[in-house]
Structure formats: structure tokens, C-alpha cells
Amino acid sequence: MSARLRFHGCYTAIVTPFTADGGAVDLARLEENVRRQAAGGVTGIVPCGTTGESPTLTEEEHASVVETAVRVGRAAGLQVIAGAGSNSTAHAVHLQKLAFQLGADAGMQVTPYYSKPSQEGIYRHFMTVADSSDLPVMLYNIPGRCGVAIAPETVERLARHPNVRAIKEATGSMDSASEIRQRCGITVLSGDDSLTPSFAAVGAAGAVSVVSNLVPARVAELCGLLAANDFRGALEVHMALLPLSRGLLSIDVNPVPVKCALASLGLDSGAVRLPLAGASPAAAARIQELVVAAGISADAAAHGAARAGAGN
């Protein structure tokens, strides 16, 4: 929780493992997943985000997931950015304080959803959260889920607060990412695996990744190559993963495809919780095809290997 925390590289938006019937969180599997991410060389993990099905977690489950992620992740050298957002400002403040108490390195705060606030409302919401705790804030800009986006000029205003340190840009908009970088020095992270190299080209420092649930070392490698300005090497890794990266966010709603893909690799993370439904047989077959085409073997995925059959 240092003020000198540097956001960079690959952060895995880690799934929340449930039991087969979805009735409980499988904390033992979560511990395994966190250790596998560390073995793959990612910078950090993001529990209780969109991929972690945060809206379906009880207060007690949310706390147990963050506590487990911090306890296991910190020991393995990972940063832990705890999802802490809500459409209620008071609840977002509560979750930010909880993340601080549980030892997270930062809290990820999503744009308030459903209410569709104005830019002034969005600004005041995030400023209230940032004022509530010394824990750094990563903004999470995902209008496809929330109905509203954080405008670049609002990001600029928010970035003046010393606790607002980074933004996960999941707008799918290069214009938005470019304008944010033009307006202020906040650290930008790509929120879409298919756009990670494009965002790097306009100054993004890394990515919050879904596909790294499957191949943490390959996405960590991609981010490292981009940071070193090795775009030729990065392009090779990116293109090999691109069909899978796109499929995980288009065949069905996230995290249905990634949980299906994990199961196909012997890394079953249990059911998705209602109102999400599991992948259809046709979708599951297509996801399996993309996993195979990306060269991901069960053994490589289980050990966080950079490439199929290889060590990290």
C-alpha cells in the first residue's frame, strides 16, 4: 500500500472459483489460481472485478476472496488490486476501506452503474471514494457494463487527487485512451486483451487481462515486450492470442467463456452464478477450438508456462 506503488505490466482479472453448483466460493482453488498467476510472472491480480463476478458475491464472500488474494498473492510477490466499486457511493467507500483493512495495494473503482450519473456526479463519486482512504484508486472505465463512460476531461480532474493513480480503460476506444494520455499523467492500463498493443502505442503501461487466467506468462511476456518497445516480438505473441482474446469477450458474456476455457484445461473454476448461465454446447466447442488454436496445452496452463509445453 505504498504511495510509490507503480502500476505496470500484466494484471490478471482473476475469476472467482465456485463449487460445481455455484453455492459457495472455492477458496482452495482460488489459492491455486493465485499461485499459478505468480508462477507465470504477472505483476498482480485483480480479484472481485467483472471477471470475478463481483455483483454475485455476498459481503462475507467478497471479504474472503480479497483476504485470500492478499494473503497468498503478497507472499508470492504479487500486487493485489481489489475490486471495490459500487453504484452506491457509500457502499463504494465501505469497500475501499475494507480493501485497505485487508491489505490490498489499491482498490479498483468502477463507474457507478444503473443510475447513469452526469460527469459531475461521476467526479464527485470518485472524489468521495478517494478522500475516504489512503488506499490508491484505480478507476475502471467500462461503459458497456455501466451505461456511462468517464470522459477524458473528468479523468483529468480526478487525476489531480493524489490517491487516483491509474485507470483501467475498457472503453474499446483508442480516442479515449489517447486523449487521457494527452490530458494528464495518470497511468493507463488496457482493459481489452485485443487492444493491449494498440494502447501501449499511445502510452499505456500494461493491461488488466482476462486471457491471462489461461496463460499468465504469455500475457506477462507480451506486456514486457511492449514495455521494451519490442513491437515485432510483441506482435508475434499478440497475434497468436488474438482470436482467443476476442472470443473470450464475444462468444458469451465475460466470464462465461474464460471459465469454460479453464475447465477444458483441467483448471475447473466451477459454475458461473445466476443470472449468468454456463456456455452452451456450441459455444463450449468453439471456445475449445480457440484454446487449441492458441497452442495452449493443459500442462502448460497448469504451470503458467509461457508457451505450450514450455517452462516459464
Read off the DSSP letter of residue 253. Answer: S
Which grid cell sits at 12? 490478471
Query: pLDDT at position 306, please?
Result: 53
- CA dist., res. 141 & res. 149, Å (int): 6
Residue 273 domain-assigned (yes or no)? no
Taking CA atoms, 207 is separated from 44, 96, 117, 120, in Å, by 10, 22, 27, 27
Helix/strand/coil (H/E/C) assignment for every residue in 173-233: CHHHHHHHHHHCCCEEEECCHHHHHHHHHCCCCEEEECHHHCCHHHHHHHHHHHHCCCHHH
Spell out the per-residue pLDDT of the chain, length 312, in tens.
444 799 999 999 999 999 999 999 999 999 999 999 999 999 999 999 999 999 999 999 999 999 999 999 999 999 999 999 999 999 999 999 999 999 999 999 999 999 999 999 999 999 999 999 999 999 999 999 999 999 999 999 999 999 999 999 999 999 999 999 999 999 999 999 999 999 999 999 999 999 999 999 999 999 999 999 999 999 999 999 999 999 999 999 999 999 999 999 999 999 999 999 999 999 999 999 999 999 998 776 777 765 433 333
Which grid cell sits at 257? 467463456
Angle at 141 between CA 27 and CA 197, to 5 degrees: 90
Catalytic residue among 11, 123, 140, 259: 140
Residue 88 domain-assigned (yes or no)? yes
Whether 113 is catalytic is no
Query: pLDDT at position 304, please?
Result: 72
Residue 238 domain-assigned (yes or no)? no
Q: CB-based contacts of 110: which residues, under 8 Å, 6+ apart?
A: 49, 50, 83, 85, 86, 140, 142, 145, 146
Taking alpha carbons only, the member of 241, 137, 146 closest to residue 195 is: 241
Residue 240 domain-assigned (yes or no)? no
User: Residue 171 in contact with residue 187, Cβ under 8 Å?
Assistant: no
Task: Please classify residue 309 by burial: count the beta carbons closer than 10 Å to its beta carbon, then call 0-12 exposed, 13-18 middle and 19+ buried.
Answer: exposed
- CA dist., res. 97 & res. 81, Å (int): 13
User: Whole domain around residue 205: which residue ranges?
Assistant: 9-232
User: Which amino acid is located at 224 in the chain?
Assistant: G
User: Which amino acid is located at 291 in the chain?
Assistant: V
pTM of the entire structure? 0.95
User: Residue 57 in contact with residue 68, Cβ under 8 Å?
Assistant: no
Q: Which residue has the cell 485497505?
A: 100
Residue 15: give its domain's CATH number. 3.20.20.70
Residue 245 domain-assigned (yes or no)? no
Residue 239 domain-assigned (yes or no)? no
Query: pLDDT at position 312, please?
Result: 33
User: Count of domains in the chain?
Assistant: 1
Whether 140 is catalytic is yes
- CA dist., res. 156 & res. 83, Å (int): 22
Residue 223 domain-assigned (yes or no)? yes
Side-chain half-sphere CA neighbours of 286 within 13 A: 17
Residue 151 domain-assigned (yes or no)? yes
- CA dist., res. 236 & res. 279, Å (int): 29
